[in-house]
A = this chain, B = another copy of it.
Amino acid sequence: MESHLAKVFNGIVGGISLEVASVTIFVALLCFCILIGHLIGENRWTNESTVTLLLGLCAGFLTLVVTKWRNSRLLSFDEELFFIYLIPPIIFNAGFQVEKKQFFQNFSVIFLFGAAGTVISFCFISGGVYLLFKLMGVTSFGIRQFLAIGAIFSATDSVCTLQVLNQDETPLLYSLVFGEGVVNDATSIVLFNSVQKLDLESFGALSALQLLWTFLYLFITSTALGVATGLFSAFIMKKLYFGRFTWMPYPHDVYLNAFFPVFNFWGKNSLNLHSATREIAIMSLMAYFSYMLAQMCSLSGILAIFFCGVVMSHYTWHNVTEGSRTTTRHAFATASFVAETFIFLYVGMDALDIDKWKQSNGSVHTTLVVSGALLVLIMVGRAAFVFPLANFANCFRSRAKISFSQQFIIWWAGIIRGAVTIALSYEQFSAARQSSSDGAFLITNSIIVVLFTTMVFGSVTSPLIRANLFSNSSNVPASEMDPSSLEEAQVSFLENIGDDEDGSISMGFILMHPMSAIRYLWRRFDHRFMRPLFGGYGSTQ
């Protein structure tokens, strides 16, 4: 600790600390990226992720030159930073701002893609890499390594996908691709974790069942944890209502206006600011707590914080003061945006880490062949589940079938691999577990795949969607494109008759429209029991 101290105080008191200099340059780069991203915002062939990645590459190259080819990364961050600090705000914001109706309407399809789809992709990639390496004569990898490679390259990148897709323009695609990404995270963790623990001697049907059980357990407990934390925060906000003191029978604005009649534009409304500060702090800290608690219990933090965000936007958000509402919406979006920019910048710089490239002794030719093969396997593995599963799901959807062009975009956008892939491949192939030139070779390959997919697929997806949108919008009117309009009408009709007949709906309706019936029952439950307890839109304070 003393060495750290000395380092910091060098920066504060005496000379220039390397740590302080690195953070300063990194913050300056972040500002620069945001400005450039804003300036190229009009351009349809590039996006902010790609620009940030390229800037990261340039900065890494400059650092390499300045440090005389010793170091490219500026910050001696470890992957810890990524999982503990950068992922939570991104996923929480996604849950907080997600179009809840769309998400839950498509939940069955999302679950199918995220769970079954990831397993199919995992099998394809593992098998393909096994065959490829057998052909190439690489012998240092065992079954466990091949399975791990499958899990690593099955993890899609929710972050870049979020930047590429637009929730307002293509709500169905957004909820499908993003929702799949969230479930995919849980599946990847289970797969990767199971591969590490796998008893290769007695692998059979029982192991597969165990895997399924682990996945379901993980999914349900993580979700429950997130929902519970969100509900707890809503309960606290409702009971302690920070904007109102217990000895005040009227809303506090009445007192404020009586005691301090003049408020200027800057707002000397310190009581409001005081309570808003506490509300926002509690919301952020509770959300983060759900993520960390899930990680601590070896559950999926991503799932937990996602559902915590969903519950907070449904209940907690309605219990806080007006200022807190505006602030949470904007501040969470900003935190998420900065974290995304940070990740892309860092991945760009990390790609030029000279040690990794030195340790990997594959020739340029071999590297390109293996990266290309991995990319093809990812594409084939994704095609192998997107098209069959989408058509399977279409059989059960009376309206809003997933058209072929939409299936194509789902396939295309999900090929992007990101920071999770890099972090997992480090975990598997870095010095701690298996320090060989083959391991380093695989790490460099995963970097190439991530850079290539982010830049190429990330850039081309937006124009692709726009082309698809325009060709579609000329044929189908907006009201028909909205899958919810008809069902909505049914549910609102049900709600009207349901209240008259003491809330009972006929068995026939439940059998005919199971999803509508579930949604109707949930709404009634929400209205009668949840909102009085946890607050929410339209509830009485």
Contact = CB atoms under 8 A, between A and B. Distances in A.
B273 A330 contact: yes
Contact of A278 (B6, B34, B288, B297): B34
Taking each of A193, A295, A334, which has the highest tally of chain B beta carbons within 10 Å of its own beta carbon? A334
Contact of A78 (B4, B20, B301): B4
A247 to B, nearest CB: 7
Each complex incorporates copies of this chain amounting to 2
A236 interface: yes
Given A34-B285, A292-B24, A78 B8 contact: yes
A298 B14 contact: yes
A286 B430 contact: no
A293 B240 CA distance: 42
Taking each of A35, A240, A288, A296, which has the highest tally of chain B beta carbons within 10 Å of its own beta carbon? A296
B84 A20 contact: yes
A527 interface: no
A5 B296 contact: no
Interface stretch (A25-33, A385-393, A440-448): A25-33
13 contacts: A1-B76, A5-B430, A11-B296, A13-B189, A17-B295, A27-B292, A35-B282, A38-B240, A38-B278, A42-B245, A168-B268, A277-B330, A284-B334
Contact of A281 (B17, B34, B245, B298): B34
A35 B240 contact: yes
Given A21-B296, A280-B331, A337-B277, A31 B430 contact: no
Nearest to A435: B2
Contacts of A84: 8, 19-20, 23
A426 interface: yes
Interface stretch (A105-113, A201-209, A321-329, A394-402): A321-329
A219 B57 CA distance: 38
A334 B275 CA distance: 10
Given A281-B34, A334-B284, A289 B323 contact: no
A267 B240 CA distance: 27
Contacts of A2: 430-432
The 5 closest A-B pairs by CB, nearest first: A327-B330, A24-B292, A4-B78, A2-B432, A331-B331
Given A2-B432, A5-B79, A35 B280 contact: no
A80 interface: yes
A140 interface: no
Contact of A240 (B28, B39, B292): B39
